[in-house]
Amino acid sequence: ACSLLRSPKGFPKLKNDTFLRAARGEQTEHTPVWCMRQAGRYLPEFRETRASQDFFATCRSPKLCCELTLQPLRRFPLDAAIIFSDILVVPQALGMEIVMVPGKGPMFTEPLKEVEDLLKLRQKVDVTAELGYVFQAITLTRHSLEGKVPLIGFSGAPWTLMSYMIEGGGSTTMAKAKSWLYRHPEASHRLLRLLADVIIDYLVGQVAAGAQALQLFESHAGHLGPELFQDFALPYIQNIAQAVKSKLKEEALPLVPMIIFAKDAHYALRDLAHAGYEVVGLDWTIRPQEARAQIGKDVTLQGNLDPCALYAPKEKIGELVKKMLESFGTQRYIANLGHGLYPDMNPEHVGAFVEAVHAHSRHINKH
């Protein structure tokens, strides 16, 4: 139950640290598993909790975020929880207004059109003032989890957030945002730097609030080719890992494992392996063996079952999971989907996925 806020200190003792051990490259008895968007619309209880509230109002309610984060854990023996929130809370913190349009998704009321529009953004963001509601949700959820599993915090990466801020919503080409990279490279770097600085403080604040791991979502990496990624995404991804770690040290906070998930960025796997993250997340379009060959043995891999595989019959899901585990190996590996769960998925199939990971990885480890 997500009731009263207690102090961030004195969190309950962690009972299942399999996910954290795998992230750090330690031996595990079974392969840990969690799902992107595990707190989502595929769960009837999620739809019920969310029904009466505006989406971003839900994000701003620590109590509701806590409840939504815990729902999947009541159903499935997942090895990690991820705080219910949204990557677009960062552009909101910079002063941009976003509405959730039913059937369409998030829309910015005034996207960035000209370079001058950058002046409208807050140049200095006090993350506690602007995003303190996320920190409260994390602290509350960490207590409410009662040490069952670790809690993951997250943020969108600079390029992905920039693309939303210019496109004003989803886009199949990201042409408006990419045109900035070609026409206004300096202004693009100014915006990316501003975003990175906010993200660094935001992630450190999440650890201070109780997050035990952090994931950075570069969801729109696939719209960039190797050169644009090298110029406009990778330097900020590297800088965020480095700056978060040095600030955690300075503030005597735990050095939590960090995960980078750059969707469709096969071309950058070698670079991502050296970007300062303990874990590299993979989408479903790459072969596990190829990813392992490029990333090497010193980084944990996370992924990468095609989310649509969960539409298959349960036996088939089991077979696909077994094959995935054999390809990745059961160690230095966290099982997940290659992207988030879709709203029309059957919760029982999600359960079958989670259970298959545990059963097959235990079996492989024994033999």
pLDDT above 90 covers a percentage of the chain that reads 96
pLDDT band at 348 (very low <50, low <70, confident <90, very high): very high
Which is catalytic among the residues 24, 41, 190, 362? 41
Q: Which two tokens stand for residue 124?
A: 């200095």
Q: Which two tokens stand for residue 65?
A: 């975020």
Whether 155 maps to a domain, the answer reads yes
pLDDT digits (tens, 9 = 90+) for 27-47: 999 999 999 999 999 999 999
Cβ–Cβ contacts within 10 Å for residue 297, how many?
A: 10
**Residue 333 designated active-site:** no
pLDDT at 206: 98
Q: What is the mean pLDDT of residues 60-86?
A: 98
Which is catalytic among the residues 21, 37, 60, 332? 37
Q: What is the distance between the terminal CA atoms of the chain, rounded to a whole angstrom?
A: 40
Q: How far is CA 214 from CA 11, 80, 114, 153, in A?
A: 18, 12, 33, 5
**Residue whose tokens read 């050095």:** 255
pLDDT at 86: 98
Which is catalytic among the residues 42, 164, 236, 333? 164
Which is catalytic among the residues 17, 21, 42, 50? 50
Going by C-beta distance under 8 Å and a sequence separation of 6 or more, which residues neighbour residue 186?
Answer: none
Whether 6 maps to a domain, the answer reads no
**Looking at the predicted structure, is the pLDDT value of residue 337 above 60?**
yes
**Looking at the predicted structure, is the pLDDT value of residue 134 above 90?**
yes
How far apart are alpha carbons 192 and 131 in whole angstroms?
19
DSSP-H helix ranges across 101-219: 127-144, 158-167, 175-183, 185-209
Mean per-residue pLDDT of the chain: 97
pLDDT band at 132 (very low <50, low <70, confident <90, very high): very high
What's the structural domain count of the chain?
A: 1
pLDDT at 336: 98
Give the lowest-confidence range in 51-55, 104-108, 133-137, 285-289.
51-55
Whether 22 maps to a domain, the answer reads no
List 213's β-bridge partners, or say none: 152
Beta-strand relationship, 333-337 and 300-305:
parallel
pLDDT at 102: 87
Question: Angle of helix 234-250 relative to helix 185-209, nearest 10 degrees?
Answer: 30
Beta-strand relationship, 279-281 and 258-262:
parallel
User: CA angle at residue 95 from 258 to 51, to 5 degrees?
Assistant: 75
User: CA angle at residue 295 from 292 to 299, to 5 degrees?
Assistant: 95
**Looking at the predicted structure, is the pLDDT value of residue 135 above 80?**
yes
pLDDT digits (tens, 9 = 90+) for 271-308: 999 999 999 999 999 999 999 999 999 999 999 999 99
Using DSSP's 3-state secondary structure scheme, residue 163 falls into helix
**Residue 41 designated active-site:** yes
Q: What is the mean pLDDT of residues 126-149?
A: 98
How far apart are alpha carbons 156 and 87 in whole angstroms?
5
pLDDT at 3: 66
pLDDT band at 61 (very low <50, low <70, confident <90, very high): very high
pLDDT at 343: 97
Whether 105 maps to a domain, the answer reads yes
How far apart are alpha carbons 304 and 281 in whole angstroms?
8
pLDDT digits (tens, 9 = 90+) for 237-281: 999 999 999 999 999 999 999 999 999 999 999 999 999 999 999
pLDDT at 4: 58
Q: What are phi and psi of 348, to 5 degrees?
A: -65, -30
CATH of residue 124:
3.20.20.210
Question: Angle of helix 288-295 relative to helix 314-328, nearest 10 degrees?
Answer: 30
pLDDT at 7: 53
Q: How far is CA 113 from CA 165, 170, 180, 322, in A?
A: 9, 16, 9, 48
Which has the closest alpha carbon to 137: 214, 200, 53, 210?
210
Q: What is the mean pLDDT of residues 199-205?
A: 98
Whether 243 maps to a domain, the answer reads yes
**Looking at the predicted structure, is the pLDDT value of residue 190 above 60?**
yes
Helix (H) or strand (E) holding 349: helix 347-366
**Looking at the predicted structure, is the pLDDT value of residue 5 above 80?**
no
Give me the domain span that covers residue 258: 31-366
- Binning the chain into helix, strand and coil, the percentages to the nearest 5 are 50, 10, 35
**Looking at the predicted structure, is the pLDDT value of residue 8 above 70?**
no
Q: What are phi and psi of 345, to 5 degrees?
A: -80, 150
pLDDT band at 2 (very low <50, low <70, confident <90, very high): confident
**Residue 37 designated active-site:** yes
Whether 20 maps to a domain, the answer reads no
Q: What is the mean pLDDT of residues 55-72?
A: 98
